[in-house]
Structure formats: structure tokens, C-alpha cells
Amino acid sequence: MELRILQKNEDKTDHLFDSANCQTLLQIYDDYYPKNGFNLPWVAYLILKQNKVVGSCSFIGQPKHGKVEIAYWTFEEFEGQGIASFACKELIKISHIADPNVIITAKTAPEDNASTKILKNNSFIFTEIVQDDEIGDAWLWTLKP
């Protein structure tokens, strides 16, 4: 598996983006990048497996107040293959290379699920319940220093 930067103006007709999930992803970032900026390395990444997009991962903007949030999405047909775990590890590496002092966080639905397991396996600890625009009440996770 590998990550590839999701550019600002990807060619939506490229065969790489044939799936409905890819088209949804491109639509999301058509709105997201103009609003939040495209600041390397704090951007979105395509997760590629055998030259096929199987999901995405991203930083939710660039660090603010010494913290950055990560997120990942494995397309449903590829779940259970370690893709989100790979993405989480890669985002941690990218962040540590760019700024070893930044605190990495993530949010999940307020329940034990695959995402909470991935975060626990990558040394994140539950921090508190916070509000999230999409989730509502969310669990905030912080990577242990």
C-alpha cells in the first residue's frame, strides 16, 4: 500500500477515480480545499493498493495551537484488510517528520468500533467527549507523547 497526495484539481475523468466512492471523495475536497487551504503536508491522501484507490486519509487542516487532527476512510468493499491501520500509521509518520512536537488527535463516534481499536493499537488514548459537526457527541483521542 502507498499514499498519494490528493491534489487540489484532480482529473475526475482519470480511471483511478472510476468508483462512486472516489467521485464522492473528489466532491468533498472540491469544497474542502478552497475553504480550509492546501498546505503540505497537512492535506488529504489517497490510499492506493495495487494501483487502485481503496480509501483516503487526511489531516483536518494544518496544526492549530500545537495540535492536528487525523481522519481515515476505507471504502466499504476493502474493510478488514488493514487499510485504515496503515493510513493511521502513515499520517503519524508524516506529522512527526513535519513537526515532531505537534500533538496528533482523532475523533470517533462515541462507541467501541473498528476505528477506536485502530487508534488504541497506535497508542492513542481517549481524552474526552467533544462536539463534532458531523458526529455530534464524539470521543476525542490523543496520541501518547
Residue type for 91, please?
L
pLDDT at 107 over 90: yes
Confidence class of residue 145 from pLDDT cuts 50, 70 and 90?
confident
pLDDT at 36 over 90: no
Where along the chain do its domains lie? 2-143
3: nearest Cα among 126, 89, 64, 77: 89
The average confidence (pLDDT) of the chain is: 95
* Residue 48: predicted pLDDT: 98
Architecture of domain 2-143: 3-Layer(aba) Sandwich (3.40)
* 54, burial (CB in 10 Å: exposed 0-12, middle 13-18, buried 19+): buried
**SS3 assignment for 78-138:** HCCCCHHHHHHHHHHHHHHHHCCCCEEEEEECCCCCHHHHHHHHCCEEEEEEEEECCCEEE
Confidence class of residue 78 from pLDDT cuts 50, 70 and 90?
very high
The reported pTM is 0.94
